[in-house]
Amino acid sequence: MTVDSFPKLVLASASPRRRFLLEELGVSFEICVANVVELDAAQVSNPRDMVIKNARLKADWVAQRYPKSFVLGADTTVFLDETILNKPADMEEAREMLRFLSDRTHTVFTGISFVNRELDVFETVEVSSEVTFKVLDEEMITHYHSLINPLDKAGGYAIQDGGETIVASYEGSLSNIIGLPLEETKGIFTRHRVL
């Protein structure tokens, strides 16, 4: 993708899950991974604020390079007991996260930022869903980690990959839990005639 080609829509994410979800909307897009340092719980304690600010950071970085394009940035985190769970640093932290989430209901927050600098479009949306985990013992955690790589996933899990192993139920948008709420994204695209 060259700077002067200016695709209509750019996804500011390296996430294969977001790419897959966006493809489900049937819209043509390019990918440009934002080279930013994301904010974490030490800097922003409110998960809603954190996901919106991180989504905006990503979208703004890409939009500076593609000012004529619509740019979509997103960020997802897991929240329980006033604790933000982003991507685990290592496998032991991933195990600790699943122990913490076991037999409890947590919230998944995703922030979306939609930007077109030339048209002066700056829109943000935050979506939340609830996920309840089964009771997890050490054997179940080990089995689940044999199915997925938890290190690139907020909360150390992915509901769409072996989720039936650990998830008892969920409420709200499934695509939000995966990483990109499609209903809200489609609404934004429709308003700005991207679809």
Q: Which sequence positions are flagged as catalytic?
A: 75
- Given the DSSP bridges, would you call strands 121-133 and 105-116 parallel, antiparallel or unpaired? antiparallel
Q: How far, rounded to the nearest angstrom, does the alpha carbon of residue 83 sit from its chain's CA centroid?
A: 17
Give, in order, the Cα–Cα distances in Å from 123 to each of 5, 55, 91, 119, 181: 23, 11, 36, 12, 15
Using CA atoms, how far apart are residues 129 and 91, in angstroms rounded to an integer? 25
Q: Which two tokens stand for residue 156?
A: 């150390």
| Tokens describing residue 180 | 């990109």
73 has which bridge partners?
Answer: 113
Measured CA to CA, the distance from residue 95 to residue 92 in angstroms comes to 5
For residue 187, the one-letter residue type is G
DSSP 71-92: EEEEEEEEEETTEEE-S-SSHH
Q: What is the rounded distance in angstroms from the CA atom of residue 180 to the CA atom of residue 118?
A: 25
